[in-house]
């Protein structure tokens, strides 16, 4: 009986969004009379940071500071349609819709500024600080605040835009059954190192080293925090979490946080995160969906590490001490 | 059912309310008094989201009857900022990106505050121990541990 060490590796491809009956998200953008921009969505920020990312995307597209943008994700009854926040699709789908809406709003904004400055709209550009100026002649400029006031009270224009992004439904080819379930994939690879106690079946994850390829990190610190949390959650799925440990028998399922196990702050593996950026062809500023993807590669990596350590293949999650001991017993019985 | 009066100090202010006998402190704070910083995660003492500080001790407000708090000194995360300036723990949580959905954050912060009040220079093990009653679904804990250690360092530098 001994503590045995093992190392496992796994790599994954993960689709951004899904393809059922088509996968749309819409967005509306409009300016207030004082030149702030509202983005209306029904996509939900559930902690992953969608509001921040959508504000960055809108600000970058219109050419204003991020703090001039307000994101309203309040109401799925009244907001423009979104399929929802799931399948790692939020940044990709809603981001593209926001870009389209913001471009339309920017165009109206430049047209109003052109009338005020008596130049062509195509000769104007934003300075990113809240002003619009003539290209090559920055002294000829007007603040977006004044443009918005003019649009509202003088010119009778609505500085607004409509955006929509749709991944159309993909039908399987009749002959081959081939289809295109997604247009955009994120990738990841994890190496996990574990110790397995072959007497108790207990697994300790010593280190997890993860590389994530996520298109472009629109907010690198928020990407990092999601990847760190996701890596933890992957280990949690690999070793701890289940509602039905003897599925399909429902006995002994956890009914509360006492019985539904997750690793706590004392059970953390040494975690390394490396981000690779290879901008996607159809993502907003090259982004893909890093969300759910980041909690996946740890699971097969840990399973492989357990195999490396004690020579048993556990193919049911979570990899509990009981499953390991049963497998070791079967192995010994030959 | 007859209502009973409760009276305590909440974040430095005298607070009085009539509540149904048997109301938890969590529900009294959130629904009657309007301090929604303690969160109701499990309502049975297993997640730590409802943590508050009662007379200097870390307590689960979901397992504390409000009527047992008469005369107590209660602190919640809502009372930590002073004059619009965030408490060093709040600042450190922000800087370390130690919050995602934020549901666990107020409980984590009061748990960390009780630790730092007693152990101004905690080890990593001390921090882990202090947070071990609080569940976080999002962050993987490491950013939270780092935030608490950073706040402790900031405190001791200010004291020095
Ligand atoms: S709500 Fe009190 S411990 Fe979960
Ligand atoms: S930040 Fe979501 S539970 Fe901790």
Indicate whether A101 and A187 sit together in one domain: no
Indicate whether A121 and A233 sit together in one domain: no
Shortest alpha-carbon distance between residue A230 and chain B (Å): 7
Q: Which residues of A touch B42 (CB under 8 A)?
A: 256-257
Q: Which of B113, B12, B4 lies closest to B68 in space, CA to CA?
A: B4
Q: Which residue on chain A is closest to B126 by alpha carbon?
A: A266
Query: Could you report the per-residue pLDDT of B12-37, keeping only the tens digit for each?
Result: 999 999 999 999 999 999 999 999 99
Report residues of chain A scoring pLDDT below 50.
Answer: none
- DSSP assignment of A79-105: SPPB--S-TT-IIIIIHHHHHHHHHHH
* Interchain contact, A228 vs B142, CB within 8 Å: yes
To test the pocket of ligand 1, the residue of B62, B76, B131 to mutate (highest count of ligand atoms within 8 Å of its CB) is B62
pLDDT at B57 over 70: yes
- Rounded to whole angstroms, the Cα distance separating B160 from B157 reads 5
Is A73 an 8 Å CB contact of chain B? Answer: no
Task: Give the best residue of B96, B102, B128, B140 to mutate against chain A (max A CB count within 10 A).
Answer: B140
Whose Cα sits closest to atom 4 in ligand 2?
B136
Q: Which residue on chain B is closest to A221 by alpha carbon?
A: B97
Indicate whether A227 and A329 sit together in one domain: yes
Q: Which residues of B touch A231 (CB under 8 A)?
A: 140
* A49, A221, A231 member nearest B140 (Cβ): A231
Residue B63 buriedness (CB in 10 A; 0-12 / 13-18 / 19+)? middle
**Among A112, A141, A167, which residue terminates a domain?**
A167
Residue A68 backbone class (left: φ over 0; alpha: ψ -120 to 50; beta: rest): alpha
Element of type H or E holding A161: strand A160-167
Q: Enter the tokens of residue A110.
A: 């430049």
Indicate the pairing of strand A185-197 with strand A203-213.
antiparallel
Q: Enter the tokens of residue A296.
A: 């996946």
Query: How confident is the model at residue B80, as a pLDDT?
Result: 96
* Interchain contact, B139 vs A46, CB within 8 Å: no
- Between the CA of residue A313 and those of A248, A333, B114, what are the distances in Å? 21, 15, 45
**Among A117, A143, A167, which residue terminates a domain?**
A167
User: For residue B24, what are the β-bridge partners?
Assistant: B65
User: Quick count: other Cβ atoms within 10 Å of Cβ A47?
Assistant: 17
Ligand 2 site residues, Cβ closer than 6 angstroms: A 47; B 99-104, 136-139
- Rounded to whole angstroms, the Cα distance separating A296 from A237 reads 9
**Among A134, A167, A200, which residue terminates a domain?**
A167
Indicate whether A214 and A264 sit together in one domain: yes
* Interchain contact, A221 vs B97, CB within 8 Å: yes
- Evaluated on CA atoms A53, A56, A59, A62, the torsion sign reads negative
- Rounded to whole angstroms, the Cα distance separating B27 from A320 reads 37
- Between the CA of residue B18 and those of A8, A84, A133, B67, what are the distances in Å? 60, 42, 61, 10
Which residue's entry shows tokens 């010593």? A206
Q: Which of A105, A94, A13 lies closest to A48 in space, CA to CA?
A: A94
Is residue B58 in contact with ligand 1, taking CB distance under 6 Å?
no
- The runs of H, that is alpha helices, within A118-159 are 144-150
Indicate whether A247 and A297 sit together in one domain: yes
Indicate whether A200 and A160 sit together in one domain: no
Indicate whether A33 and A149 sit together in one domain: yes
* Domain range summary for chain B, segments of one domain joined by +: 3-79, 88-159
- Domain B88-159 is found in CATH 1.10.1130.10: no
Three-state secondary structure readout of A300-320:
HHHHHHHHHHHCCCCCCCCCC
Query: Could you report the per-residue pLDDT of B69-108, keeping only the tens digit for each?
Result: 999 999 999 999 999 999 999 999 999 999 999 999 999 9
User: Which residues form the domain of A65?
Assistant: 23-167
Which residue's entry shows tokens 């953008």? A29
Is B139 an 8 Å CB contact of chain A? Answer: yes
- Rounded to whole angstroms, the Cα distance separating A250 from B60 reads 31
Query: How confident is the model at residue A47, as a pLDDT?
Result: 86
Indicate whether A76 and A186 sit together in one domain: no
Indicate whether A329 and A220 sit together in one domain: yes
- Rounded to whole angstroms, the Cα distance separating A100 from B77 reads 41
Shortest alpha-carbon distance between residue B72 and chain A (Å): 29
Query: How confident is the model at residue B159, as a pLDDT?
Result: 67
Is residue B107 in contact with ligand 1, taking CB distance under 6 Å?
no
Q: Which residues of B touch A51 (CB under 8 A)?
A: none
Backbone angles phi, psi at A120, to 5 degrees: -80, 140
Is B47 an 8 Å CB contact of chain A? Answer: yes
**pTM value > 0.90:** yes
Which residue's entry shows tokens 């390829």? A213
Supply the Cα-derived Rg of chain B in whole angstroms: 16
Q: Enter the tokens of residue A15.
A: 């689709």
Query: Could you report the per-residue pLDDT of A27-72, keeping only the tens digit for each?
Result: 999 999 999 999 999 999 988 899 999 999 999 999 999 999 999 9
Q: Please tell me which residue in A60, A115, A292, A322 is annotated as part of the active site.
A: A292
* Interchain contact, B97 vs A258, CB within 8 Å: no
Contact by Cβ (8 Å): A261, A254: yes
Query: How confident is the model at residue A21, as a pLDDT?
Result: 81
Query: How confident is the model at residue B160, as a pLDDT?
Result: 57
Contacts 24+ apart (CB under 8 A), B37-46: B37/B76, B37/B77, B37/B78, B37/B106, B38/B76, B38/B77, B38/B106, B38/B107, B39/B103, B39/B104, B39/B106, B39/B107, B41/A257, B41/B103, B41/B104, B41/B107, B41/B135, B42/A256, B42/A257, B44/A256, B46/A256, B46/A257, B46/A258, B46/B135
To test the pocket of ligand 2, the residue of B46, B137, B143, B145 to mutate (highest count of ligand atoms within 8 Å of its CB) is B137
Report the CATH architecture of B3-79.
Roll (3.10)
Q: Is residue A172 part of a domain?
A: no
- Evaluated on CA atoms B54, B58, B61, B67, the torsion sign reads negative
Is B46 an 8 Å CB contact of chain A? Answer: yes
Residue A203 backbone class (left: φ over 0; alpha: ψ -120 to 50; beta: rest): beta
* B101, B137, B142 member nearest A271 (Cβ): B142
Is B63 an 8 Å CB contact of chain A? Answer: no
**Mean pLDDT, all residues of chain A:** 95
Indicate whether A135 and A221 sit together in one domain: no
Query: Could you report the per-residue pLDDT of A186-231, keeping only the tens digit for each?
Result: 999 999 999 999 999 999 999 999 999 999 999 999 999 999 999 9
A292 is catalytic: yes
Q: Enter the tokens of residue B108.
A: 């984590």
Q: How many domains does chain A have?
A: 2
The CATH number given to whatever domain includes residue A46 is 3.30.365.10
């Amino acid at each position: 009986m001994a503590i045995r060490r093992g190392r496992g590796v796994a790599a994954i491809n993960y689709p951004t969004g899904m393809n059922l009956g088509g996968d749309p998200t819409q967005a509306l953008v409009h300016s207030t009379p004082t030149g702030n921009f509202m983005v209306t969505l029904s996509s939900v920020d559930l902690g992953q940071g969608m509001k921040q990312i959508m504000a960055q995307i809108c600000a970058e597209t219109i050419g204003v500071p991020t703090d001039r943008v307000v994101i309203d994700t309040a109401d799925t009854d009244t907001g423009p349609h979104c399929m929802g926040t799931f399948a790692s699709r939020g940044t990709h789908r809603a981001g593209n819709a926001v870009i389209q809406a913001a471009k339309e709003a920017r165009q109206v904004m430049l047209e109003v500024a052109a009338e005020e400055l008596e130049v062509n709209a195509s000769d104007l550009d934003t300075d990113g600080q809240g002003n619009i100026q003539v290209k090559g002649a920055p002294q000829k400029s007007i603040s977006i605040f004044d443009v918005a006031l003019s649009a509202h009270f003088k010119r009778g224009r609505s500085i607004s835009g409509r955006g929509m992004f749709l991944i159309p439904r993909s039908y399987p080819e009749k002959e081959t059954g081939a289809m295109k379930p997604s247009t955009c994939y994120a990738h990841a690879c994890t190496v996990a190192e574990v110790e397995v106690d072959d007497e108790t079946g207990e697994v300790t994850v010593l280190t997890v080293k993860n590389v994530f390829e996520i298109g472009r990190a629109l907010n690198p610190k928020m990407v990092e925090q999601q990847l760190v949390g996701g890596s933890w959650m992957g280990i949690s799925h690999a070793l701890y979490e289940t509602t039905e440990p003897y599925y399909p028998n429902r006995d002994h399922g956890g009914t509360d946080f006492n019985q539904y196990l997750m690793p706590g702050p004392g059970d953390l593996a040494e975690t390394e995160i490396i981000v690779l950026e290879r901008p996607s062809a159809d993502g907003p500023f090259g982004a893909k969906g890093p969300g759910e993807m980041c909690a996946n590669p740890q699971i097969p990596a840990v399973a492989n590490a357990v195999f490396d350590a004690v020579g048993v293949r556990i193919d049911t999650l979570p990899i509990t001490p009981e499953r390991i001991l049963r497998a070791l017993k079967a192995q010994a019985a030959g | 059912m007859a209502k009973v009066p409760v009276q305590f100090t909440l974040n430095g202010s005298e607070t009085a309310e009539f509540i149904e006998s048997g109301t938890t402190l969590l529900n009294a704070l959130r629904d009657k008094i309007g301090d929604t910083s303690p969160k109701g995660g499990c309502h049975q003492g297993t997640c730590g989201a409802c943590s508050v500080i009662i007379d200097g001790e870390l307590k689960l407000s979901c397992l504390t009857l409000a009527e047992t708090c008469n005369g107590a000194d209660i602190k919640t995360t809502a009372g930590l900022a002073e004059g619009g300036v965030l408490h060093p723990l709040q600042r450190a949580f922000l800087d370390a990106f130690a919050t995602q959905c934020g549901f666990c954050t107020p409980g984590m912060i009061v748990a960390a505050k009780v630790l730092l009040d007693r152990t101004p220079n905690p080890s990593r093990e001390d921090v882990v121990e202090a947070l071990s009653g609080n569940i976080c679904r999002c962050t993987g804990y490491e950013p939270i541990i780092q935030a608490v250690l950073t706040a402790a360092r900031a405190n001791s530098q200010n004291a020095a």
